[in-house]
Structure formats: structure tokens, C-alpha cells
């Protein structure tokens, strides 16, 4: 059984772009249903994208995967995906908020927006993960997580469909763990044993 008793982390944030479907379907289904903290994900996609990704992952996973909703309280055992064309943020009361603010790094949703807001809320109790992607979104957000005392994990660029996002994150901050794609879920599970 996984527990937060032996681990002080309280939330996980993930950022992914090009190659995201393969990355998320490799990680999320490997996580057990008793995963003890919420996971929030920004996947870059078209502004008219539907809920396919959430539905697909939910059908493959022991966790509850859904599109995030305004003012929704985050709970353990759930994965929240940023909806198309909205930034996803975490509020001080551990609820989610959606924003139509300007694009960041040419993207909305943007990884940096989620990571920076989550770092403000969770501080050292946050795990940030950068996965495959073709731009540098998330690197500043991961640096913010590190500066707040949180844990940083980056997919090994050699295992990424697009190495730009992992490489940008590695270039800007001292990363705690650089792991191949299939090592991300086992690492997360090990952190809560």
C-alpha cells in the first residue's frame, strides 16, 4: 500500500507536449489506484481538442482520469488534465482554476503556468515532471518548483519523441532525477513506499 506517511509530497504536476499520448499512456496506467496524491497534467493540444485523452487514459488506468473543472477540489487517486484552450492553475485552498489569460510559450494551456501556481501552493511538497515536447515550456516552472524545495523529474531526452522540453529543463536547473520514460512511474511509486 502506498502512503504519504513516509513521504512528505502532497501533489504531482506533469508537463508534456509532442509525443504526450504515448508518454502519458506509459506512465498513468502503471500507477496504482491507491496512489496517495493528486496528479495535475498539462498536455499541449489543439484548442478545439475534445476529451478523448482523458477518456482513453481513464479506461486504461486504476486512477480516475478527468478533465479539470473550475473550482474543483483535488483529491488523491485522481489525475486532472488541463482542458483545451485553458491554463490550469492550483489555488491556495487546493482547488483548481481555469484561465483564458494570454498564451505562455505560445501555448494555452502552458506547463509553466501550472507548475508556478502549484509551487506557490505546495512548495517543498511538490513533485514536478517534464516529459517529451518540442519547445521549452515547463523549464521555468520546474526551476520554480526546485527553488521552492520541491522534487524535479525529467524524462531522459534520449527516450523522448521530442527532446526539446526535457533538454530545456535540464539546461536551466539541477534536476533530481533524469529517467527513461518507462522509469517515471516506478520512480513515483518508490517515492511513496
CATH number at residue 173: 3.40.50.180
Window from 4-13, 59-68, 88-97 with minimum mean pLDDT: 4-13
Give φ, ψ of 125 to 5 degrees: -95, 20
What's the CA gap between 99 and 81, in Å, rounded? 14
User: Would you say residue 168 has pLDDT above 80?
Assistant: yes
C-alpha cell at 25: 499512456
Q: Looking at the domain assignment, is residue 113 inside a domain?
A: yes
Determine the structural domain holding residue 68 and report its residue range: 11-191
pTM (predicted TM-score): 0.95
Question: Is residue 125 scored above 70 in pLDDT?
Answer: yes
Residue 3 maps to a domain: no
Which residues are known catalytic residues? 17, 44, 137
- Residues ≥6 apart with Cβ < 8 Å to 188: 12, 27, 31, 35, 127, 153
Kind of pairing, strands 64-67 and 39-43?
unpaired
pLDDT of 145 over the 90 cut: yes
* Number of structural domains the chain divides into: 1
Residue 5 belongs to a domain: no
Per-residue confidence (pLDDT) for residue 106, from 0 to 100: 87
Amino acid at each position: 500500500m502506498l502512503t504519504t506517511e513516509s513521504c512528505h509530497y502532497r501533489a504531482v504536476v506533469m508537463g508534456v507536449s509532442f509525443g504526450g499520448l504515448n508518454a502519458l499512456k506509459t506512465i498513468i496506467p502503471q500507477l496504482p489506484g491507491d496512489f496517495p496524491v493528486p496528479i495535475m497534467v498539462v498536455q499541449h493540444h489543439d484548442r478545439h481538442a475534445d476529451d478523448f485523452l482523458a477518456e482513453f487514459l481513464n479506461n486504461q488506468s486504476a486512477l480516475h482520469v478527468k478533465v479539470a473543472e473550475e473550482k474543483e477540489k483535488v483529491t488523491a487517486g485522481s489525475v486532472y488534465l488541463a482542458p483545451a484552450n485553458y491554463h490550469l492553475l492550483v489555488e491556495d485552498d487546493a482547488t483548481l482554476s481555469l484561465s483564458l489569460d494570454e498564451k505562455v510559450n505560445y501555448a494555452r494551456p502552458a506547463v509553466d503556468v501550472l507548475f508556478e501556481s502549484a509551487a506557490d501552493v505546495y512548495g517543498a511538497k511538490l513533485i514536478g515532471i517534464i516529459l517529451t515536447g518540442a519547445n521549452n515550456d515547463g523549464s521555468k516552472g520546474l526551476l520554480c518548483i526546485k527553488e521552492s524545495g520541491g522534487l524535479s523529474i525529467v524524462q531522459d531526452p534520449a527516450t523522448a519523441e521530442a527532446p526539446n522540453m526535457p533538454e530545456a529543463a535540464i539546461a536551466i536547473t539541477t534536476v533530481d532525477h533524469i529517467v527513461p520514460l518507462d522509469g517515471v512511474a516506478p520512480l513515483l511509486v518508490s517515492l511513496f513506499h
